[in-house]
A = this chain, B = another copy of it.
Amino acid sequence: MAFRVVVYGGSGNLGRSLITLFRKNNWEVTSVGTRQNIEATHNIIVSNDDSLEVQGKEVMQNVSSILNGEKYDAILCVAGGFSMGNLAKGDFLESVDLMVKKILNTALIASKMSTVNLKDGGLLMLTGVAGLQPTPVAKAAVHHLFDSIVSKGSGLPKNAKSIAILPGTIDTSDNRKGMPNADFSQWIPLDLLSQ
């Protein structure tokens, strides 16, 4: 029987890297992302314009029909986003709103999904950050969400394991382009993070 995993953020850098690894090991992979991941077994395409409730319902319904009564061995949320600037920036509210949608809402839906579609003893993983503003406003909420997930009475399946990863800067081509003068040796290789 194949293991099953959902990768929320499956069309992003970290998500694509994870899916390659899982497919190599013959896992059945559901990708949730804004673009299709051609390596994934199943794709659920979502939009960054969706409200939490709309995307939540859509993803949960799709997952339920993909699983057809089965459950996931692992639910990994690696959806993310990045935005610079302080309060005085003209589009500060729009930036935070987008970060909340990309970072907090995806973590909330993955967590909610774990109460319904994760096996007893399965793994839930969320992604936090060590970083910059206004990204951390949304990430701070994920950190808190994680605190409440690992506490008693969280609603997660029996013996389910939860981990949060808190990467510094990940070594991707986009990040190298955006920060050409940074010390790349301090960055986290993408394939290391996937292992």
With A52-B93, A93-B56, A141-B141 in contact, is A87–B104 under 8 Å at CB? no
Copies of this chain held together in the complex: 2
Q: Is the interface of A mostly helix, strand, loop or mixed?
A: helix
A109 touching B93 by the CB < 8 A rule?
yes
A88 touching B104 by the CB < 8 A rule?
no
A109 to B87, CA, bound (A): 10
A122 to B31, CA, bound (A): 49
A134 to B149, CA, bound (A): 11
Interface stretch, picked from A63-71, A151-159, A164-172, is A151-159
- A140 at the binding interface (Cβ < 8 Å): yes
Interface stretch, picked from A6-14, A15-23, A72-80, A111-119, is A111-119
A154 to B148, CA, bound (A): 29
Q: Which of B87, B144, B155 contacts A86 (CB 8 A)?
A: B155
A109 to B136, CA, bound (A): 17
